[in-house]
A and B are shown apart, each in its own frame.
Chain A
Amino acid sequence: MKGKKERETVHRQGMPEQDPKARIRNFDEVPLGYTEEMAVAEAKRCIQCKKPLCIGGCPVDVDIPGFIKLIAEGDFIGAARRLKEANILPAVCGRVCPQEDQCEKICVLGKKGEPVAIGRLERFAADYERESGNITVPEIALSTGKKVAVVGAGPAGLTIAGDLVKLGHEVFIFEALHKAGGVLVYGIPEFRLPKKIVEAEVDYLKKTGVKIITNTVIGRLKTVDELFEEGFGAVFLGVGAGAPVFMHIPGENLSGIYSANEYLTRSNPMKAYRFPEYDTPIVRGKNVAVIGGGNVAMDSVRTALRLGAENAYIIYRRTEVEMPARIEEVHHAGQEGVQFKLLTNPVEYIGDKDGWVKEMKCLRMELGEPDESGRRRPVPIKGSEFVMDVDTVVVAVGTMANPIIPATTPGLETNRWGHVTVRDENGETSRRGVYAGGDIVTGSATVILAMGAGRKAARAIDEYLKS
């Protein structure tokens, strides 16, 4: 073993990536992953703190020093299993978690230099295990004879299902779409999260005994009350915040204008980028404007480039500092040639004689006083109106709660935004035996926060069923 001093001088291992020029012509993953040597070298940078702060930054309490130590020792399978004790989707989280705001933010090494690349190591271990085929199913407790219905096969639902099945409950996940994964499938593009990884994680869950019923819209095919009548002892609502938000400005319904949800659903699960091999079409615009500054906006604009856009713009009303997207995503978008039109806000779309969008009228903005979010409020500059040529627009300004479940579940309380109200962090709702977690409670947040909510609700449901 090296001495402490020597260890600190080793730099954080960079992530090998596909060249920007090559990658905007394909949908393959951009970061290529660590080699074994790189992973071991990076793992050895971890100083194995006696009181590790990093775990406190993880919404699902992964034993971070523990799995990293196993990688340093070359026990990659052991590392993956250690990860899976707390996190059922490590290959996903290693790719899409905002580690820079969580575990890596408080890593002690980060105080003077660069933090340990926890996310990249997580991805490495999970990928190693999956590619080795050496996957074992965890021990399942004796059957409790209780049945739990999980509504929605996204990050929250998959997590709670994995936890409850291990505790001996019979778990059914009801998914509205034809594929399990929720936002991992319909939202996040192939170049950031290959779908075969999500499929592998879902398959693993099925091996543990979780039953996944697709094409089932709870609230339409059957209501929450009918699930109880069918003998389910508890219901978990993890339906996400799937309804798109539009800006309600003139011309927004012209042909060629998409919500990010539609654009990404066509491209990701429906594989429209492989049309006509796949049947679902998508508009391959030349001048594409994506409205918004979050991760979904970055995913959309990078999809547009890969679909052949000559000009792909991010239109954002504040500055780069206020952008909610991960720095890495903004950086990748910039590398690929995305043009950022900051302090800019669309006010109207103008169509051609066939009802197709051809121009976007925008205003320039400046930053004023901070608003309730703490960010400086964008204020339009008088007389700054200008027009841009666009043939495709993707509106990525946020999502809101889908009303189907609250509307069909009497007694289920929601707040003024339609989000399900919970009593505490365990996700208990106003309806006995009904729990909720993830975006349907918090509004759009992250994969890992939804998983954390699923984990806490699993403990609460287990106790509820035993009482």
Chain B
Amino acid sequence: MNKITEKFYLSENVVRIALEAPEIAKKRKAGQFVVIMTGEKGERIPLTIADSDAEKGTITIIFQIVGKTTACLAALNAGDNISGVQGPLGNPTEIDNFGTVVCVGGGVGVGVVYPIAVSLRKAGNRVVSIIGARTRDLLILKDEMKKTSDELIVTTDDGSYGFHGFVSGVLQNLIDSDEKIDRVFAIGPVPMMQAICDVTRPYKIKTIVSLNPIMVDATGMCGACRVSVKGETRFACVDGPEFDGHEVDFNLLASRLRMYLNQERESMKRCRCGKDER
């Protein structure tokens, strides 16, 4: 059992919660994730650790309401318990002083790229961040990203805030402006990560992506999260979750993510979490 100590809506469907998990809070590093179960009949879902407070013994996770489990999690409040948190899992981000790094976050992916940006800044990098969302109301962690970046560029698909367009377009402009970029970290929806990799590939700028395939045990036991990297099958849970984006088969990732679409819809339709209050 782990108690929720804080809950905050970052946007209409993106939620930040802090959870009691003292040992994980002490141990976790940027890039790692946890698996949570909301209750006995729940499923195991992986969520990246956005932040932690070792003194308070809490970790922070940021998630988008996309299905039943996230809807139920969002319906809980400070003081409520969930049945379990397992972690930290996955390999930490490789952090070094690379020089100038660009951290790109799309949608809820900003929550994942945020702790990486914090660590990169601490390691002495010049951090340029590009964050984007479909529209102004869905932008998250703008202030936090601003604080941890030397430069922050904000985009919206509909132009309702900041640059009008996609994060990939902004990155292209940055490259065209002769900014010397040593490494790119791109986290967000699959098409966004793919687009970023397409932008950086011709310039051979190493681009790290964090993959979010479906997982069950998340300890290397089941292979649900297998992805193809450089033509080889890897498990995102133990070999990743971060990989060189130029070597990732994004089409396979996207099609495997759709495997349970029908069941996910059915589950969501039956779920009452959050629906009654609206």
Contact = CB atoms under 8 A, between A and B. Distances in A.
A201 to B, nearest CB: 19
Interface string A396-425: 000000111000000000000000000000
B221 A404 contact: no
B37 to A, nearest CB: 6
Given A279-B43, A281-B260, A178 B83 contact: yes
A248 B233 contact: yes
Nearest to A177: B217
Interface in A87-140: none
Interface stretch (A6-14, A77-85, A269-277): A269-277
A404 B43 contact: no
Interface stretch (A141-149, A251-259, A315-323, A359-367): A251-259
Interface string A232-260: 00000000001110101000110110110
Interface stretch (B86-94, B111-119, B190-198): B86-94
A221 interface: yes
A354 B258 contact: yes
B259 A283 contact: yes
A114 B224 CA distance: 44
Contacts of A186: 217, 221
Contacts of A243: 220-221
Nearest to A252: B233
B256 A255 contact: yes
Contacts of A444: none
Contacts of A271: 41
Contacts of A242: 219-221
B228 A259 contact: no
Interface residues of A, number: 41
Secondary structure at chain A's binding surface: helix, strand, loop or mixed?
loop
Interface stretch (A58-66, A163-171, A212-220, A328-336): A212-220
B228 A270 contact: no
Contacts of B219: 176-177, 217, 242, 402, 404
A277 B270 CA distance: 10
A283 B258 CA distance: 12
Contacts of B177: none
B42 A279 contact: yes
A402 B235 CA distance: 12
B24 A221 contact: yes
Contact of A253 (B42, B238, B256, B260): B256
A277 B37 CA distance: 15
A280 interface: yes
Contacts of B238: 403-404
Nearest to B259: A255
A261 interface: yes
B92 to A, nearest CB: 10
Interface in B65-122: 68-69, 83-89
A253 B84 CA distance: 30
A230 B223 CA distance: 33
A248 B252 CA distance: 15
Contacts of A403: 220, 238
Given A217-B86, A280-B43, A265 B233 contact: no
Contacts of A25: none
Interface of B: 23-24, 27, 37, 41-44, 68-69, 83-89, 216-217, 219-224, 226, 228, 233, 238, 251-252, 255-256, 258-260, 263-264, 266-267, 270
29 contacts: A217-B86, A217-B89, A221-B87, A242-B220, A242-B221, A243-B221, A244-B223, A246-B233, A248-B233, A252-B233, A253-B228, A253-B256, A255-B255, A255-B259, A261-B223, A262-B223, A265-B216, A270-B216, A276-B267, A278-B43, A279-B69, A279-B267, A280-B43, A280-B216, A281-B264, A354-B255, A355-B252, A355-B255, A403-B238
